[in-house]
Amino acid sequence: MILYPHFDTNAAGHLTVGGMDTVALAREFGTPAYILDENVIRQNCRTYLSAARAHFGENALPLYASKALSFTGIYRIVAEEGLGIDCVSGGELYTAKNADFPAERIYFHGNNKTDADLRQALLMGVGTIVVDGMEELEALDAIARELGKTQKILLRITPGIDPHTHRAIMTGNVDSKFGNAIVTGQALAITKKALSLGGVVLAGFHCHIGSQIFDIEPFRDAADIMLKFIADVKAATNFEATELNLGGGLGVRYTEDDRGIDYADAIAKIAEIVREGAKKSGVAMPRVILEPGRSLVAAAGVTLYTVGSVKEIPGFRNYVSVDGGMPDNPRYALYGSQYTALIANRANDPKDYRATVAGRCCESGDLIGEGMALQAPRRGDILAVLCTGAYNYSMASNYNRLPRAPIVLVKDGKAKIAVRRESYEDLVRCDQK
């Protein structure tokens, strides 16, 4: 096992994912390629769903935050597993529709939905729209009435929490492009407005405090603040929220240094916190929604590259360049994300080599990681980067006109292409001659 039980080695000393030889997968599908272990995604969905039902009741609904990894096949998998989803754009809605995802189980997010997005969501019959601000609320109400619909909504609230300091900081996260702050009075104002409109039906409130969170305390702060807000709204308007969406954000173990999280245990703790908070605030226990993205899909993924140049600069560092880079994984360039990498065709050799793993783009910042521990690499080796299921393909670009890598799903000893590799013809498809 390497980091997770689904990453292992075989008799040939090759890295395996879900029991399949990654060197053989690289040969069959080419590199770079994203490989996803479908059973890991399904198991994560089941863990969330069964824990949510056990601790929040039968009407609990975990949502997959599909911005983490969006392609038609993933919506099918999530639909089969009985979860809902959230979407943040017309393109994600369109992709979900392409997979025949049940529209009533879709939550539509985003801090700047266009009128066209809102119309598309209404026409699709999206179950819930999470309204981010006053103008959007008014636009949605107008479009809904024009279409003769009443749309169920939640309001996005900014509780004012920095999840990485374990304390509510009432000025910190209020400064956000997302949501309506409680402390400024804007949250109560938009609630009153929503209650006055005929095109929308307010069900409750949403908050999302951040990502890659390993502690439960920020969720306690968020739940307490949100439940107190529900109580304050009830006192001010007589409206009692029936739904509370606490967002996503549970962390993922990317390297040996990260600690893991038992998601079922975390959900049990969050449920207890919400129950206590509701009692303390004197409001009825709402239907609780959680929206994991990363923690459902990140660990399932591995990206396979072919090593090209190995450049050792005496007195400086070693550069190992691969045939992908920031176009398939921009996360190191964006925010210094740490990954575990290895040479897949010599996975049992000691990792006694340190290198900066670089991509092939004309950009010095095009790096997968610095100071990465590897087996000594050679041109032609297969380099694997683990836990790339989330925010890799969904953030991929065609920078330097590199065609996007394919997604290969592996399950029970079989591999199938879920998204084919882009061709050069794909690259010029929208260009006018």
Q: Catalytic amino acids?
A: 362
**Pure H helices in 292-428:** 294-297, 331-335, 424-427
Q: Which residues pair with 35 in a beta bridge?
A: 302, 408
Q: How far apart are the first and last CA of the chain?
A: 52
Closest to ligand PLP by CB, 86 vs 221, is 86
Binder of ligand PLP out of 84, 160, 247, 359 (CB under 6 A): 247
Q: Is 293 in the site for ligand PLP (CB under 6 A)?
A: yes
Percent of residues in the chain assigned helix, strand, coil, to nearest 5? 35, 25, 40
Taking contact as CB under 6 A, which single stretch among the options 13-21, 62-70, 322-330, 333-341 is the one that binds ligand PLP?
62-70
| 223 in Cβ contact with 274 (< 8 Å) | yes
Q: Which residues pair with 341 in a beta bridge?
A: 385
Parallel, antiparallel, or unpaired: how do β-strands 7-9 and 15-17 relate? antiparallel
Residue 410: which H helix or E strand, with range?
A: strand 407-411
**Chosen residue from 55, 294, 346, 411 binding ligand PLP by CB under 6 A:** 294
Q: Is 109 in the site for ligand PLP (CB under 6 A)?
A: yes
- Structural tokens at position 145: 């009435």
For the CB of residue 425, give the shortest distance to ligand PLP in the complex, in Å. Answer: 33
292 binds ligand PLP (CB under 6 A): yes
Contact with ligand PLP (CB under 6 A): which of 199, 249, 286, 389? 249
54-62, 65-73, 309-317, 374-382 -> range binding ligand PLP (CB under 6 A): 65-73
d(CA 326, CA 294): 19
Q: Is residue 356 involved in binding ligand PLP (CB under 6 A)?
A: no
Q: Closest separation between CB of residue 325 and ligand PLP, Å?
A: 23
CB of 222 to ligand PLP, least distance (A): 12
Among 221, 224, 291, 328, binds ligand PLP (CB under 6 A): 291
Q: Does 248 bind ligand PLP (CB under 6 A)?
A: yes
Instruction: Rule CB under 6 A: say whether 84 interacts with ligand PLP.
Output: no
- Could you tell me which residues come within 8 angstroms of residue 420 by beta carbon, excluding any fewer than 6 positions away? 406
Considering only residues 191 through 220, tell me which ones interact with ligand PLP, judged by CB under 6 A. 208, 211
Scanning 46-54, 64-72, 111-119, 182-190 for contacts with ligand PLP by CB under 6 A, the matching segment is 64-72
Amino acid at residue number 210: G
Give the total of residues touching ligand PLP (CB under 6 A): 15
Our CB check for ligand PLP shows the closer of 224 and 291 to be: 291
Is the Cβ of residue 105 or residue 109 nearer to ligand PLP in the bound state?
Answer: 109
Which letter does DSSP use for residue 405 in this model?
P
Residues 6 or more apart whose Cβ sits within 8 Å of residue 140: 118, 122, 129, 131, 151, 153, 199, 200
**CB of 40 closer than 8 Å to CB of 69:** no
For residues 353 and 318, give the distance between their C-alpha atoms in angstroms, rounded to a whole number: 9
22 or 211: CB nearest ligand PLP: 211
Stretch near ligand PLP under the rule CB under 6 A, chosen from 49-57, 246-254, 280-288, 376-384? 246-254
- Alpha helix ranges (H) inside 252-376: 263-281, 294-297, 331-335
As measured in angstroms, the least distance from the Cβ of 287 to ligand PLP is 16
Query: By C-beta, is 245 or 375 nearer to ligand PLP?
Result: 245
Tell me which stretch binds ligand PLP (CB under 6 A): 18-26, 89-97, 243-251, 276-284: 243-251
In this structure, the number of other CB atoms found within 10 A of the CB of residue 255 comes to 16
What is the Cα–Cα distance from 258 to 428, expressed in whole angstroms? 41
Q: What residue has token string 């990654």?
A: 22
Q: Which is nearer to ligand PLP, 15 or 298 (CB)?
A: 298
- Asked if 343 and 310 count as a contact pair (C-beta separation under 8 A), the reply is no
* Contact set with ligand PLP (CB under 6 A): 65, 67-68, 86, 109, 208, 211, 247-249, 291-295
